[in-house]
Amino acid sequence: MKKALVIRTGAYGDMIILSPLFRALKREGYKTYLNCGKRGLEVLKNNPYIDEFIEYEKEGQNDPDIEKYWNSIKDKVKPDWVKNFSESIEVNVALHPRSPSYVYPKSERVKRGNRNYYDATEEWSGIKFDQKKPDLFIDKAEEESASKYLKKGINLLWCLSGSGSNKVYPWTDYIIGDLLKKYEDLHIITIGGEKCQIIETLEDERITPLAGKLSFRESMVLTKLVDLVISPDTGVLHAAGAFSTPKIGILGHTTIENITKYFENDYSLEADTEECECSPCYRLIYDHKIQCPIDNLTGACWCMAKGQPANRLLKRITEVINGIRSSSIS
């Protein structure tokens, strides 16, 4: 049997974006090997289209010998087809600070950056995908374990931030407070990294604060089980794209075209460019306090503080929840 080697070091969202490739490779008759880090192993667990994982143990470290390492993997597998997707999106669509195009005028950045990540990955692979949305596999045991966090009524999963500080939404508490007043049967689960515990400030029996307490895999499972997912552009939003769960992406530096174009039941909001003309910038943001204009009141970047006003997001959430309630009644 012919062999395919896929190489990808990257964050959770990067691995989710890559997930449709493996079904396509199996369709083309390949035995598939994936070289990835622990995050890839977690995201792609149970994937029946990956025949063998080769773990890269230095993920997240500055590895000067990585090219030598990759060549050793190729020598071991001897693939008929090989693609290295490390920095495939970061280099070709999203603009890295080291790229000359990072400082291009916005009109030029739009031409390069306003492309769908799944389209770009398919193009990079040279193999037609069966689907351009995440291909994730959750087993019954995982669903049963995660279901303990659900309560009777409408369950809303709110991801408080992504890997970048530019993805923190500063009006979360205000909106959650209004929603709890409006809907007595609403249960809100907040998730995110351990640092997000700082912004889990509301105390209410209808809020379950789980930031820093769940693995990313558990958060992925919850996106399938809840009634609505709200998230910035991060791995949780991509995971939700694998399922029919209604989802609202709070987008700042990216667009619906980039992220959720092919997702089912997507109600995402892009930043209002009249309020925040720098958005979308299509840039990779590592430190918003250095790279972005800052809102003086909240300390958040403009695209989240000014570009995503609380009243507009609250209106969208209300519309989606009312639609969920109507469909459950009918």
Domain ranges within the chain, ordered by starting residue: 3-125, 154-329
- 238-to-190, 211, 223, 249 alpha-carbon distances in Å: 17, 18, 10, 9
CA distance 189 to 15: 24
Closest C-alpha among 36, 34, 26, 35 to residue 2 = 26
Structural class in CATH, domain 3-125: alpha beta
Q: Which two tokens stand for residue 265?
A: 């039941």
* Sequence-distant (≥ 6) Cβ neighbours of residue 290 within 8 angstroms: none
CA distance 250 to 172: 11
Closest C-alpha among 68, 78, 110, 105 to residue 93 = 110
pLDDT of residue 307: 96
CA distance 85 to 236: 21
Length of the chain: 330
Per-residue pLDDT of the chain (330 residues; tens, 9 = 90+): 899 999 998 889 999 999 999 999 999 999 999 999 999 999 999 999 999 999 998 887 788 889 999 999 999 999 999 999 998 787 788 888 888 889 999 999 999 999 999 999 999 999 999 999 999 999 999 999 999 999 999 999 999 987 778 899 999 999 999 999 999 999 999 999 877 777 777 888 999 999 999 999 999 999 999 999 999 999 999 999 999 999 999 999 999 999 999 999 999 999 999 999 999 999 999 888 999 999 999 999 999 999 999 999 999 999 999 999 877 665
- Element (DSSP H or E) covering residue 13: helix 12-18
pTM: 0.94
pLDDT of residue 61: 79
pLDDT of residue 10: 83
Closest C-alpha among 291, 252, 286, 256 to residue 272 = 252
pLDDT of residue 329: 62
pLDDT of residue 99: 86
CA distance 225 to 243: 9
Fold of 154-329: Rossmann fold (3.40.50)
Q: Do domains 3-125 and 154-329 have the same CATH topology?
A: yes
